[in-house]
């Protein structure tokens, strides 16, 4: 099987993916694209990657296009990534007053580790009720993975031991080396598909939005569009968290910087 793409086929995939996701794949991602499309082509019994791309573009099968997008957006993460945000979130939760639930949106939730990290912290600070976490992602595969809530133990290396005891179940037998998020925690965490480059589903408004490690893939006009689509879902004086390698400077947005990678409405 030919596992390489011609320049023409690679650029066709780049354009297709950008039109759907808003993300432009760099030339340096070519081997990653070839590796992930190789598996899809094998599944269909297509021997050449160029032939697979031709078939994809000719037939425009929505299900196959979704599979391509899923493959190209898959990424691995872990629990309690960038802990400074969780320290700040803890203080916000502790100071929360009023009868409205404390709501947090994990806007690029990948396979769910970020959303469940948020949920563990809120359960510790606010108890079993009075809060809600929404996770959204472009990838249907990632959303399904998040809903299953089963993870390799190595991704939990930054989870406090007491959190693991209270909110996770250790796998045994054929699930050895894996963990399951507890049912009590999962009942306040909900996942659905959303493309940040398009109109968002009805999600309500939030005290905090995590928009971390996704803007880095977009150019400034796209970043500005995403932030201005997301920010109105913050409550007055709500907070937006970005990745520490990401900057919103020089963007026309209605947010002000309050600390590193934290913005207020």
Q: Positive or negative CA dihedral for 65, 145, 87, 209? A: positive
Mean pLDDT across 164-185: 95
From the list 95, 91, 145, 84, the residue with the least C-alpha distance to 115 is: 145
Domains of the chain: 7-73 (1.10.155.10), 83-264 (3.40.50.150)
CA distance 16 to 8: 12
Active-site residue list: 36, 137
Among 77-81, 218-222, 260-264, the range scoring the smallest mean pLDDT is 218-222
Q: How far is CA 97 from CA 12, 126, 165, 207, 217, in A?
A: 52, 10, 28, 12, 36
260 phi, psi to nearest 5 deg: -55, 120
User: What is the number of other CB atoms lying within 10 angstroms of the CB of residue 8?
Assistant: 10
Confidence of residue 127 (pLDDT cuts 50, 70, 90): very high
The partner residues of 150 in beta bridges, in order of sequence, read 180
- Tell me 2's DSSP state: B
pLDDT digits (tens, 9 = 90+) for 67-98: 888 888 766 689 999 999 999 999 999 999 88
End-to-end CA distance of the chain: 53
155: left (phi over 0), alpha (psi -120 to 50) or beta: alpha
Mean pLDDT of the 22-36 span: 87
Mean pLDDT to the nearest integer, 107-118: 96
Taking all residues of the chain, what is their mean pLDDT, rounded to a whole number?
92
| Greater pLDDT, 68 or 23 | 68
């Amino acid at each position: 099987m030919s596992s390489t793409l011609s320049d023409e086929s690679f650029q066709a995939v780049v354009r297709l993916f950008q039109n759907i996701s808003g993300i432009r794949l760099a030339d340096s991602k070519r081997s990653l694209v070839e590796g992930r499309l190789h598996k899809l082509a094998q599944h269909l019994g297509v021997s050449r990657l160029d032939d697979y791309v031709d078939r994809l573009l000719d037939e425009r099968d929505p299900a196959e296009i979704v599979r391509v997008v899923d493959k190209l957006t898959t990424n691995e993460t872990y629990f309690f990534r960038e802990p400074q945000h969780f320290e700040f979130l803890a203080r916000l939760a502790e100071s929360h007053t009023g009868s409205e639930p404390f709501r947090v949106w994990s806007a690029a939730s990948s396979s769910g580790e970020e959303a469940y990290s948020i949920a563990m912290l809120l359960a510790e600070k606010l108890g079993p009720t009075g809060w809600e976490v929404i996770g959204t992602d472009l990838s249907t595969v990632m959303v399904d993975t998040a809903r299953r809530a089963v993870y390799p133990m190595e991704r939990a290396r930054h989870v406090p031991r007491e959190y693991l005891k209270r909110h996770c179940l250790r796998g045994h037998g054929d699930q050895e080396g894996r963990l399951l998020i507890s049912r009590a925690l999962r009942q306040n965490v909900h996942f659905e598909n959303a493309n940040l480059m398009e109109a968002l589903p009805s999600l309500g408004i939030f005290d905090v939005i995590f928009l971390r490690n996704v803007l880095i893939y977009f150019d400034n006009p796209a970043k500005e569009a995403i932030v201005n689509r997301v920010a109105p879902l913050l409550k007055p004086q709500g907070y937006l968290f970005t990745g520490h390698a990401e900057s919103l400077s020089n963007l026309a947005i209605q947010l002000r910087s309050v600390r590193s990678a934290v913005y207020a409405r």
